[in-house]
Amino acid sequence: MPDADLHPMPSTPSDETPVASPLACLTVLLPSATEDRLVDWLLARDGAPIEFSVHAVAARGPLVRLAPGDEQVRGHAQRVEVKLIAPRPVIDGLTRDIARLMAGTPGGYWVMPVEHFAAFDAAPAAPGARA
């Protein structure tokens, strides 16, 4: 898909209904030790219309198994959360590919619709430009 697919949605005045976004957000939760595998794989997908960020998080829930010791005492695990924004069809393909790439790794993912996507600066990045 062309890079333009990720350019910001046009802004709407507050009294108008926002334009629905065709984008989705894929959030992947992983142990910190596996972060490089996913990030390197994403960076190798040059030209794909994907925005992503990586965050250290304290996690607890059905996708997190607490290790004996410190994690159980703290009640949460140190994990990495990778958030990807892309057109929904791209996200659907990424979920399949990432499930294969990360098979056997503790963690998981979820997908949510993106209601609005916009940049703070007025000019979108030039096609092919890297941030």
Structural domains of the chain in order of their starting residue, each with its CATH number: 21-113 (3.30.70.120)
Indicate whether 3 pLDDT > 50.
Answer: no
- pTM exceeds cut of 0.75: no
HEC profile for the chain? CCHHHHCCCCCCCCCCCCCCCCEEEEEEEEEHHHHHHHHHHHHCCCCCCCEEEEEEEEECCCCCCCCCCHHHHHCCEEEEEEEEEEEHHHHHHHHHHHHHHCCCCCCEEEEEECCCCCCCCCCCCCCCCCC
Condensed to tens digits (0 to 9), the pLDDT of residues 79-93 reads: 899 999 999 999 999
Please state, for a pLDDT cut of 90, what percent of the chain lies above it. Answer: 40
Residue 13 binned pLDDT confidence (cut-offs 50, 70, 90): very low
